[in-house]
Structure 1
Amino acid sequence: MADLRLGLLLNAVSPAVGGVLVRGEKGTAKSTMVRALAGLLPEIATVDGCRFACDPAAPDPQCPDGPHHAPAAGERPAHLVELPVGVSEDRVVGSLDLERALAEGVKAYEPGLLARAHRGVLYIDEVNLLQDHLVDLLLDAAAMGRSYVEREGVSVRHAARFLLVGTMNPEEGELRPQLLDRFGLTVEIAATRDAAERAEVVRRRLAYDADPAGFADRFAGQERALAERITAARALLPEVELTDGALRQITAVCAAFEVDGLRADIVMARTAVALAAWAGRREVLEEDVRKAAQLALPHRRRRNPFDAPGLDEEQLDRTLQEHAPEDEDPEDDGPGPDGDGPDGGGQGPDGGGPDGGAPAPGDAPEDSVASTDPGSEPAAAQPGEAVPPQGPGGGRESAPVAAGDPYRTRLFAVQGTGKGAQGRRSPAETDGGHTIRARRPQGRLAHLHLSATLRAAAPHQVARGRQERALVLHRDDFREQVRRGRESNLVLFVVDASGSMAARQRMTAVKGAVLSLLMDAYQRRDKIGMVTFRGTGAELALPPTSSVEVGAARLEQLPTGGRTPLAAGLLRAHEVLRVERMRDPNRRPLLVVVTDGRATGGRDAVAQSHRAAGLLAAQGIASVVLDCESGPVRLGLSRTLAGHLGATAVTLDELRAEGVASLVRDSRSSAPRKAA
């Protein structure tokens, strides 16, 4: 947890660093650590009575509660504002009383969470699950330092500069690159594997549950000392010198890792200065630059969507040595004046090692994820090589083969108009998008349709005794906008891993196609799941999740061999979709069956698979069959299966052919169209 502790403290010393993104497995006390930061932050001076935390020394001239002339000042603790994943847009930016605005002509504005977080901390737990339209609001506020509310001719704007802290479990999906870049630092954390440390964690938790106040008193002295050190570091921060040599190292490292833009250079410079101030020094050293790179660059380096964040430590050391200040000898292996070697082997700025006491993200070797298949070969084995162990159906297994290079696929969309979470795939009624019609409000009025409201009220003005210019409105007059956008879907892959698919070149192409579809799902913000079938049955290889990276990893590890229980795969998919429909009725599924159409395992195996396909078709599930049959003689089994599914059969070549427009949109889905 040392990197997380250090990252939070550096932001407390210098809020200009830009916040922290905390990535880690569940149950590692990410949220507990972040919430503990609030008690360490120095108090802030505010204008008395201002709901927007204006600084008395420099009040915001556009403050809705202003203007503030010679304001009375007071002090209060900096707020830590939590932004729930399911929060509504009006709670984020604030809400206008539209009835008063129209009927009385006054601005009745209630500040939102962005206003409350001004000059404090905005904390988002499970930030990767935040809806896209809320992410857009955060991006605007983080970029401009202001929040804008523009509704029906009423405009409100106020300052919104905050320290952005987010936590996430990578297994549940990644962040959009735009929001990822807004976090100054990122840290990877994991639960300790040391039994003694785990025992101490449990012991302290039980002690806290037994006596919360007494437990807090035990550490009150340490927390006061930590808060005083933050205050001292803040005071020292303006005096820290960023030398030309240190700045050259920063820019050289950013260039070496090919980060986009210049934000990384600026964040690294601010982080290195904060590290020096935290250590009580007035000059930035190489160890500060190195640590700043480990915190600020892993999420900014160029990488494929399925690559985990991380840095090449050898490349970092090499770049730092090549651009070391001229008065230092990078080849000297002896201790420096402070007892530190050239590789930063001494004390780091936080009292631990040069890395703050924790290994940097990406230190694990790239091939550290081993196949769980007992018959797979060691890493040195050639992909596709046959191995002695028998598969689950009594056939010979092949070790997993690598996927082919991913490519851009055509858009797959579900017919009709849905009401699912915002995304980029199928048409839906959403909070974003363009307005298509008006309707009476369903619940609280959120998006007023002004012209429709005026048309509804106009015929009744004489009867309501309208006088002068005021428009007499009743609650029944209000109309809300119905907006058409796009939703995300559940894309469930049903992958044939039987012996008929085991040819090395063929499986490489098939995996490349599925990997391409996974990348498409990542870009369109879908949930994905994966069912595989071979041998005697089918298994849920990946329960529905937002983490496309996990899906890509499971695909790489997929071995092949055994019989082809196609019916079992389809029935397992039907069960998975049934359960997911109960969990989230608004998220519509898209079934992608990857097979050559063969079915073995009994005399009526083909008939069973067709009956299973008919069961899915009866549920109105939009489907695509990815036809993997190859060779000069083709039996057309996949296309027969597609007919029973009510789906479109697409070959591997047609998946990226320019002539294919929209595969699923043209499929014979039985779901009825809804009127716009």
Structure 2
Amino acid sequence: MPPYPFSAVVGMDELRLALVLSAISPSIGGVLVRGEKGTAKSTMVRALASLLPEVEVVRGCRFSCDPAAPDPGCPDGPHDGAGRERRPARLVELPVGAAEDRVVGSIDLERALTEGVTDYQPGLLAAAHRGLLYVDEVNLLHDHLVDTLLDAAAMGRSTVEREGVSVSHAARFVLIGTMNPEEGELRPQLLDRFGLTVEVAASREPDQRAEVVRRRLAYDADPDAFAARHAASDAKFAAEIRAARGLLPSVTLADDALVRIAEVCASFEVDGMRADIVTARAAVAHAAWCGRDSVSTEDIRVAARLALPHRRRRDPFDAPGLDRQRLEDALRDTEPPEGPDDPDGPDDPGGPDDGGPGSSPADGGDEPPEQGDGPGRRQDIQKAGKPYRARVFTVHGVGEGERGRRSRAENEAGRTIGVKPAGVRDGSPHLVATMKAAAPHQRSRGRRGAGLVLRPGDVRFARREGKEGNLVLFCVDASGSMGARARMREVKAAVVSLLLDAYQRRDKVGLVTFRAAGAQLALPPTVSVEAAAARLDALPTGGRTPLAEGLVEAARVLRVEAVRDPRRRPLLVVVTDGRATSGADAVRRSHAAADLLADTGVASVVMDCESGRMRLGLAGELAARLGAEHVPLDQVSLVDAVKERTRRAA
């Protein structure tokens, strides 16, 4: 089946332009495509490969060496006197669940031991050299593969180190990734490696949507005929890309244009210098695409719109996109508008007395009876305060879950701690243990040659200990006592800080809230901490405190997730002041619910939100029943926790 034609995709002009610019100038660094599912992201990327000019390679080289400048360290080299041939540029797809050996290549350890031969089988990075490397759902890629991509993108080479054997080869490729932001964000290091980024969304115009469906149905009915109808327009695209590539070396970037690029990047306060370099390269490529021999202001404008949005985000909760008016101001050599980006003004319009330590205890933390869900009752929504670096909470013991950065676990991403027993063929071989197992029969009859006699049962595999990601389930009290004296602002700031920590450690997160007469699962467990932060920010407070219902709902969610994702160990974070005031026998029922959770053995933390001079210590009692770590709200911050420990030591 021929791929869907590039020119047949309806709309998506900005994505089409970004892909074309990367094809014209691979040094831009590729494209990250962000958008909801079903928006033709993958379709356009796969269609691009057919438009790329052919590449000339050394005949027989598995690593696509350029005959004009072959890699001196190529494992298939040297290439003196080798012939040359032309072939289409490759689009190599990297599956999210690929093993590391499949990505970087592998060495046949058995042959190396028995024959003394380094038999290296190239991986996907070698296949993508001088072509495109496409990762669908790149935000779901395992961390160890992300690290591999980062190394290859930074160095232009891939190096395999296995049991004392080292192989290195060139790996320069255009990295293209697609992702759905609802499923989680990218690590900042990998995000910055993408030269350009594009946000895509389905059209809301009925006529355009109808045309999309019409063309898709026609393609499904007869792919060959559909491709033939658009062959001429695709050929025109390919010819224009070749012409732009030919013009690219002669495009001049004048010094005043370069200074303007620097001013634009500085006005958006992007980190590092990669933004300036990528914007300059994209502006030159756009000029070549338009047939110009010098960079204009329009080229800089287009390049900045594509190169800067993902570099100005400081954390996954910042809104994506670029302020177009601010860009125009920077291009006009004027100062950017003063004041915060948020049109709603500062986070704390109420002044310094926000209910933190030192506030008047007049309210005493009692729940205002007029708050709740009934007619005429008030609901209060307070925005989160500024997040900070939070303490790290972990699950005790050693797990076997998904690779991450929170708790100890046995997986292939860590250091070697031992050897797996014979018969467990999983992971990477352990050279020393394998040689020890093979030692007793090295003088056996029938031995020939100088190699090692290796039997199938001799191979041993390494046990490695690294880090895993966990399920962090927040159970947040949103009752009236939490909203009193603007305490919820601090609570939300603490939870958002822990969400940031979960994002960096590759955890799944979920959110249970309880207030008034019951509890609800506000956000099912997901890898999108951005979605969790949005639900938390819109969380209202008011009503009584159904603590028992909140704990029961948390237990239910954990029980369901244990079936869905049994390898991911949970960490329960209960955010409450410890009060239980809703329903009959509220305190007794909350104790029973806590005992139920404690019996499951779930690792838990109680974030104590009680404030004021008169404190009842109820959250501490809840932590004792849960067998949880008890952490006062003002010690969630890593800096504050260190200060408190220092004060106690003194």
- The TM-score normalised by the length of structure 2 is 0.89
Alignment partner, residue 254 of structure 2: 243
The alpha-carbon distance between structure 1 residues 596 and 311, as it changes in their structure 2 partners (threshold 3 A), is same
Q: What amino acid maps onto 1:109 in structure 2?
A: Y
The alpha-carbon distance between structure 1 residues 98 and 203, as it changes in their structure 2 partners (threshold 3 A), is same
Q: Is 2:437 the partner of 1:456?
A: yes
Alignment partner, residue 425 of structure 1: 406
1:173/1:546 contact within 8 Å kept: yes
* 1:588-630 Cα deviation digits (max 9, x unpaired): 0000011111223322222222222222222211011111122
Q: Is 2:288 the partner of 1:277?
A: yes
* 1:391-418 Cα deviation digits (max 9, x unpaired): 4367833331121222222220101100
What is the rounded CA distance, in whole Å, between the counterparts of 1:504 and 1:190 in structure 2? 41
Q: What amino acid maps onto 2:431 in structure 1?
A: L
1:115/1:160 contact within 8 Å kept: yes
What is the rounded CA distance, in whole Å, between the counterparts of 1:638 and 1:524 in structure 2? 27
* 1:412-470 Cα deviation digits (max 9, x unpaired): 01011001111111000121121110113666554221111122121222235556642
Deviates more, 1:557-566 or 1:132-141: 557-566
1:397/1:499 contact within 8 Å kept: no
The alpha-carbon distance between structure 1 residues 162 and 658, as it changes in their structure 2 partners (threshold 3 A), is closer
The alpha-carbon distance between structure 1 residues 206 and 305, as it changes in their structure 2 partners (threshold 3 A), is closer
Q: What amino acid maps onto 1:204 in structure 2?
A: R
Alignment partner, residue 17 of structure 2: 6
Alignment partner, residue 331 of structure 1: none
2:157/2:169 contact within 8 Å kept: yes
Identify the match of residue 435 of structure 1 among 416, 420, 444. Answer: 416
Matches within 5 A, 1:10-25: 10-25=21-36
Alignment partner, residue 376 of structure 1: none
* 1:522-574 Cα deviation digits (max 9, x unpaired): 22121111011112221111111111122112111111112222222112112
3-state DSSP class of the match of 2:309?
Answer: coil
1:252/1:323 contact within 8 Å kept: no
3-state DSSP class of the match of 2:92?
Answer: strand
2:395/2:407 contact within 8 Å kept: yes
Q: Is 2:281 the partner of 1:300?
A: no
What is the rounded CA distance, in whole Å, between the counterparts of 2:378 and 2:334 in structure 1? 52
Q: Which has a greater percent of helix? A: 2
1:173/1:549 contact within 8 Å kept: yes
Deviates more, 1:504-513 or 1:411-420: 504-513
Alignment partner, residue 361 of structure 1: none
1:397/1:559 contact within 8 Å kept: no
Cα offset for 1:146?
Answer: 0.9
Alignment partner, residue 563 of structure 2: 582
Q: What amino acid maps onto 1:265 in structure 2?
A: D
Cα offset for 1:659?
Answer: 8.7
For structure 2, list consecutive stretches of 5 or more residues without a partner in the other structure.
Answer: 1-11, 336-340, 345-352, 356-366, 645-650
Q: Is 2:647 the partner of 1:636?
A: no
What is the rounded CA distance, in whole Å, between the counterparts of 1:635 and 1:443 in structure 2? 54
Identify the match of residue 197 of structure 2 among 163, 175, 186. Answer: 186
Cα offset for 1:655?
Answer: 2.4
Identify the match of residue 87 of structure 1 among 78, 93, 98. Answer: 98
What is the rounded CA distance, in whole Å, between the counterparts of 1:388 and 1:499 in structure 2? 8
Alignment partner, residue 586 of structure 2: 605
Q: Once superposed, which parts of structure 1, at least 4 consecutive aligned residues long, lie more than 4 Å away?
A: 365-368, 386-390, 441-445, 464-468, 657-661
Give the aligned CA root-mean-square deviation in angstroms: 2.5
Deviates more, 1:222-231 or 1:295-304: 295-304
1:387/1:396 contact within 8 Å kept: no
Q: What amino acid maps onto 2:142 in structure 1?
A: Q
What is the rounded CA distance, in whole Å, between the counterparts of 2:632 and 2:418 in structure 1? 40
The alpha-carbon distance between structure 1 residues 513 and 160, as it changes in their structure 2 partners (threshold 3 A), is same
Q: Is 2:195 the partner of 1:214?
A: no
Alignment partner, residue 322 of structure 1: 333
Q: Is 2:470 the partner of 1:522?
A: no
2:54/2:87 contact within 8 Å kept: yes
2:469/2:508 contact within 8 Å kept: yes
Alignment partner, residue 360 of structure 1: none
Matches within 5 A, 1:156-175: 156-175=167-186
What is the rounded CA distance, in whole Å, between the counterparts of 1:438 and 1:396 in structure 2? 64
3-state DSSP class of the match of 1:397?
Answer: coil
Alignment partner, residue 347 of structure 2: none
Q: What amino acid maps onto 1:584 in structure 2?
A: D
1:306/1:549 contact within 8 Å kept: yes
Alignment partner, residue 148 of structure 1: 159
1:126/1:168 contact within 8 Å kept: yes
Q: What amino acid maps onto 2:33 in structure 1?
A: V
Identify the match of residue 120 of structure 1 among 128, 131, 135. Answer: 131
Alignment partner, residue 392 of structure 1: 373
For structure 1, list consecutive stretches of 5 or more residues without a partner in the other structure.
Answer: 325-364, 369-381, 664-676
2:313/2:319 contact within 8 Å kept: no
The alpha-carbon distance between structure 1 residues 321 and 141, as it changes in their structure 2 partners (threshold 3 A), is same
* 1:247-282 Cα deviation digits (max 9, x unpaired): 111111122222222222111111011101101111
Q: Is 2:84 the partner of 1:73?
A: yes
Identify the match of residue 50 of structure 2 among 11, 22, 39. Answer: 39
3-state DSSP class of the match of 2:378?
Answer: strand
Q: What amino acid maps onto 2:268 in structure 1?
A: F
Matches within 5 A, 1:518-557: 518-557=499-538
What is the rounded CA distance, in whole Å, between the counterparts of 1:626 and 1:135 in structure 2? 33
1:387/1:399 contact within 8 Å kept: no
Alignment partner, residue 454 of structure 2: 473
Name the % identity.
Answer: 66
